[in-house]
């Protein structure tokens, strides 16, 4: 585990359930209606105008389009964020879900300065906006490496969300696995046990949440290595594998099972393929590992760890040309 924590997850986008595109009523115009004729409201109960809903839905459509095409550019991020900012303006600057989505749009192009500024602005106006708290905590953790502070922020976000924020639960689990303390909490004996519990809670909220599936597989992989007395991994394959104790086979089988379930849910989620490669490498099947890492880097050309893992495995195959190309891409 490293401080690249915030890259482990892709922030979820808010949607307005059932809000249809309608006639533009302008700022303060008529309220948006859902399919059943009910008034559309923000998370804190404020009525959403039709004009704001139109701009918001256009932003969501743009986000979905570029996610599907995987063709994000700085211009695409800026134009998508602008749609959400327009929705916020139509709501007199208090449409925090729209502002949050603008921050997520900037994240798609790694414009972290703009994204963090938006998330921080949201928190300054609405301190219990838990999804923004998660993102700010991740940025701060990437900068200072203070795991205790980051865990405290995740726990606060979970409380503010009334235990219904799966992103915060998964990030807390990652932090717990990073700290790896022998001291546990309510319902768990140590940090690894607590991490597993939080991942299960995340999947109970959303059984299709891929980051939770992926991290659960990582949990079993790291548990297998811990039982064998290996040093905790960092999500990468060693470039030159020396002699080491064999990881616990039962835990590895559980990790592989979780990966299999995850890929049935979403075969295009690159981090799961990367984790699959790590498991295969631990099992000694470098051919399968190379295929999995190759798939991960094809699905996400900006996936640094997948490039590094693909290169490391190819070095062990003596595939120097492939390894060199992967290192250059990384």
Provide the pLDDT for residue 94: 94
Confidence of residue 244 (pLDDT cuts 50, 70, 90): low
The three-class DSSP label of residue 178 is helix
Taking the C-alpha atoms of residue 114 and residue 135, their distance in angstroms, rounded to an integer, is 12
- pLDDT score for 240: 45
Same fold, 127-207 and 228-330: yes
Residue 277 · residue 313 · CB < 8 Å: yes
Q: Given this model, what pLDDT does residue 241 score?
A: 45
Alpha carbon distance 170, 204 (integer Å)? 12
CB 131 within 8 A of CB 97: no
Task: Give per-residue pLDDT as tens, 113-129.
Answer: 999 999 999 999 999 99
Instruction: Say yes or no to pLDDT of 225 above 50.
Output: yes
**CA dihedral (36, 42, 46, 48) positive or negative:** negative
Q: Which residues of 153-165 are buried (b: 16+ CB within 10 A; e: fewer)?
A: bbebbbebbeeeb
- Look at residue 16 and tell me whether its pLDDT is greater than 90: no
Q: Please tell me the pTM assigned to this model.
A: 0.87
Query: Model confidence at 12, in pLDDT bands (50, 70, 90)?
Result: confident
Tell me what pLDDT residue 274 has: 98
Confidence of residue 44 (pLDDT cuts 50, 70, 90): confident
pLDDT value for 6: 39
What is the model's pLDDT at position 319? Answer: 65
Domain with residues 228-330, CATH architecture? Alpha Horseshoe (1.25)
pLDDT at 27: 46
Pick the CATH number of 127-207 from 3.30.70.260, 3.40.630.10, 3.40.1280.10, 1.25.40.10: 1.25.40.10
pLDDT for position 236:
62
Distance CA 114, CA 264 (A): 35
**Mean per-residue pLDDT of the chain:** 88
- Indicate the pLDDT class of residue 47, thresholds 50, 70 and 90: very high
| pLDDT band, very low/low/confident/very high, at 21 (cuts 50, 70, 90) | very low
Tens of pLDDT, residues 169-201: 999 999 999 999 999 888 999 999 999 999 999
Q: In the predicted model, is pLDDT for residue 59 greater than 90?
A: yes
When mean pLDDT is compared across 204-208, 214-218, 269-273, 320-324, the lowest value belongs to 320-324
Nearest CA to 246 out of 285, 290, 283, 275 is that of 283
Q: Note the helical H segments in 228-285.
A: 249-265, 270-282
- pLDDT tens digit sequence for 83-93: 999 999 999 99
Centre a 10 Å sphere on the Cβ of residue 230 and count the other Cβ atoms it contains: 16
Flag whether pLDDT at 151 surpasses 90.
yes
pLDDT average, residue stretch 281-305: 94
Q: How far is CA 146 from CA 25, 36, 125, 190, in A?
A: 47, 47, 25, 19
Looking at residue 14, its pLDDT comes to: 82
DSSP annotation of 26 reads -
Per-residue pLDDT, averaged over 49-67, amounts to 96
Task: Give the mean pLDDT of 7-22.
Answer: 63
Distance from C-alpha of 330 to C-alpha of 293, rounded to nearest angstrom: 13
Cβ–Cβ under 8 Å, residues 259 and 276: yes
Phi, psi of 284 (to 5 degrees): 90, 5
All structural domains of the chain with their residue ranges: 11-121, 127-207, 228-330
């Amino acid at each position: 585990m490293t401080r690249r924590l915030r890259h482990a997850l892709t922030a979820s986008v808010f949607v307005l359930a059932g809000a249809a595109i309608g006639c533009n009523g302008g700022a303060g115009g008529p309220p948006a209606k859902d399919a059943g004729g009910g008034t559309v409201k923000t998370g804190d109960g404020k009525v959403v105008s039709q004009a704001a809903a139109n701009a918001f839905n256009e932003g969501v459509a743009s986000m979905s389009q570029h996610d599907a095409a995987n063709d994000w550019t700085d211009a695409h991020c800026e134009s998508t964020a602008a749609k959400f900012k327009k929705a916020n303006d139509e709501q007199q600057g208090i449409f925090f879900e729209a502002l949050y989505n603008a921050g997520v749009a900037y994240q798609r192009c790694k414009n972290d300065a703009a994204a963090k500024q938006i998330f921080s602005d949201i928190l300054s106006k609405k301190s219990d906006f838990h999804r923004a708290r998660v993102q700010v905590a991740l940025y701060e953790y990437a900068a200072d490496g203070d795991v205790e502070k980051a865990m405290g922020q995740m726990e606060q976000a979970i409380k503010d969300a009334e235990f219904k924020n799966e992103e915060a639960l998964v990030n807390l689990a990652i932090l717990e696995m990073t700290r790896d303390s022998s001291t546990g909490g309510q319902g768990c004996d140590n940090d690894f046990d607590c991490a597993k519990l939080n991942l299960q809670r995340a999947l109970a909220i959303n059984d299709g949440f891929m980051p939770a599936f992926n991290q659960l597989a990582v949990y079993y992989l790291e548990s297998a290595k811990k039982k064998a007395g290996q040093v905790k991994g960092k999500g990468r394959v060693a470039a030159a594998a020396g002699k080491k104790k064999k990881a616990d086979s039962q835990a590895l089988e559980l990790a592989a099972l979780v990966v299999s379930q995850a890929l049935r849910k979403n075969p295009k989620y690159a981090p799961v393929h990367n984790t699959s490669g790590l498991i295969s490498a631990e099992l000694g099947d470098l051919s399968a590992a190379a295929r999995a890492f190759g798939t991960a880097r094809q699905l996400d050309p900006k996936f640094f760890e997948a490039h590094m893992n693909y290169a490391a495995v190819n070095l062990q195959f003596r595939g120097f040309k492939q390894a060199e190309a992967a290192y250059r891409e990384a």
